[in-house]
Amino acid sequence: MIKSHYKNLVILALVVLLAIVVVYRSGGDCGEDCITESEALYQSIQDISVNDAFTMIETRASDPGFVILDIRTPEEFEPEHIEGAVNIDFYSEIFRDELDTLDKEKTYLIYCRTDRRTGESLSIMRELGFVEVYNMDGGINSWKTEGFPTIE
């Protein structure tokens, strides 16, 4: 009976060891775009209302670590945009590369026209390792509907 119990423990230990090796080996080769679990714990990527976005802009306007990012086309951006916004065209062939040049430690408030382009943009920013990104729900259309200012 003791031999049988010992044999079962050895088999269990080998199975656990094998499982650990398989899990460890499967997680190692995801390329440059992969972020680790510990990196993901430090990321804050979330949706906020236009009212919260307005408050954020008002309180952080002079903060050099805060960036308003408008991902509409230049043709959409030029006629009107949120004051202080930086424009990077979502439809540009180099959109991902342009995002990758940004300081990933800064806080970003991102918006488009109606909130359709930001979903994919947020995924890209997550992959690139951005630490803190806020998506303004409803885009600039919701911003204007609430009566918040734009500049021309």
pTM, 2 dp: 0.71
Looking at residue 118, what is its pLDDT? 87
- The whole-number average pLDDT for the span 52-68 is 96
> Looking at per-residue confidence, does 19 or 142 come out higher?
142
124, 43 Cβ separation under 8 angstroms: no
Give the C-alpha separation, 61 to 67, whole Å. 9
Please give the pLDDT value at position 133. 96
Say if residues 107 and 60 touch (Cβ distance below 8 Å): yes
What is the predicted pLDDT for the residue at 13?
Answer: 57
pLDDT digits (tens, 9 = 90+) for 20-51: 544 445 454 444 444 444 444 456 788 999 99
pLDDT for res 39? 45
Q: How far apart are CA 55 and CA 97, in angstroms?
A: 30
Q: How is the beta sheet containing 86-87 ordered, strand by strand?
A: 44-48, 132-136, 107-111, 66-70, 86-87
